Structure 1
């Protein structure tokens, strides 16, 4: 065990090329997925908080349920869409980083949208009369409320990033775990462990844990800042 740990630390300190390549790809895929999910999920969640329409309750329940969507199911859905026999097969996206971004976006989107809806709904109840007295429509209130809730929403986005970074099932299915192309930290850990290359697997595990801890530390700091400024 000491030898495996020593090798893992050495790989990190020496910035092993394979290790760095896997980490960089993981961050690129996860950050892109969170960006895509945020662009869609933040306004979607806000709209669900402010507007009332037939089927809204069912949509909210569905969105909340999808927060626990099993990654392998998300991966299977994207695989079927992007496979040669699927409707998007002609795009040739299967087993590419783009497919991995799509899969992770599908997992993160419900989390960001559902949590945003709750945050904005609470703010709308607090400021509705004030905003309406100023002549603000529900549509115009959305960016105002999103900005006012920015600290809470940053925490929400960071939660989505944590989900994306730690995910393995979906990216394994749609990415194929191709060395140097679609191999990210979680899939590499699974593969290297099965091969007995425990040094690299442990090094990746250490980096992944450090990354998740850092994200949670930032989320805590942002939350504390938000409470201090009343957001």
Structure 2
């Protein structure tokens, strides 16, 4: 309990003093995870909508693969991304290893199955005859798809929250592909692990509290939008 109180005091001191390193780590965490969530939304929402609205051989297998990917271990993602962008790897010439770009790639891979899986379930959960009714009113297939996405916007917002939560809190892949370099690739989760390993529990708790506050703030905004759009 004493350690936790020290962590609270330390968090308050770090925030009120506008500590440059803490601000840098927090802003990088927001930037990296925000971009990863955006990319996963573009890929996952688009791909999930296509899968949900299309019948093709192997669809159940593909959906099973996506659902399995929703629980993909971050360290496994980190391993394969590291191999891919290693200096002797297929994409080694891009020199992405130990850069923020590498973390964004890894986190995008982690978040995409989450967003895609929820998107598929959300679109498929709509009434079966809704698609036919929209087409019967003269809408094109593109217009129909847009209307279905709008109809499923509440669970799709949950997909955004789940995707963001999955990447802002992950640590394994970020350390493996980012290297936890001070002032360059260090984010809140990797900084917390480092401070814990050094025995600086007050700083680690402070960083954890900042991370939790950040997650709560983002999810509160998204939840407010979601609940405001809820049908009465």
TM-score (structure 1 length as normaliser): 0.92
Give the alignment partner of residue 43 of structure 1, picking from 43, 46, 54: 46
Sort the Cα spacing of 1:4 and 1:67 in 2 relative to 1 into closer, same or farther, 3 A.
closer
| Number of the residue aligned with 1:70 | 73
| TM-superposed deviation, 1:126 | 4.8
| Number of the residue aligned with 1:189 | 192
Where structure 2 has 5 or more consecutive residues not aligned to the other structure, the ranges are none
2:45 is aligned with 1:54: no
Kindly report which structure 2 residues correspond to 1:54-203, keeping only aligned pairs within 5 A, or say none: 54-123=57-126, 125-203=128-206
Cα separation, 1, equivalents of 2:221 and 2:84: 36
Instruction: Map Cα deviations across residues 8-28 of structure 1 (whole Å, 9 max, x no partner).
Output: 321121111111000000000
The answer to whether the 8 A contact 2:25-2:187 is kept is yes
Sort the Cα spacing of 1:126 and 1:14 in 2 relative to 1 into closer, same or farther, 3 A.
farther
Give the alignment partner of residue 11 of structure 2, picking from 2, 8, 21: 8
2:217 is aligned with 1:214: yes
SS at match of 1:113: helix
TM-score (structure 2 length as normaliser): 0.92
Cα separation, 1, equivalents of 2:8 and 2:139: 59
| TM-superposed deviation, 1:124 | 5.5
Cα separation, 2, equivalents of 1:111 and 1:5: 32
Q: How many residues align?
A: 229
2:38 is aligned with 1:30: no
The answer to whether the 8 A contact 1:154-1:219 is kept is yes
Where structure 1 has 5 or more consecutive residues not aligned to the other structure, the ranges are none
The answer to whether the 8 A contact 1:29-1:101 is kept is yes
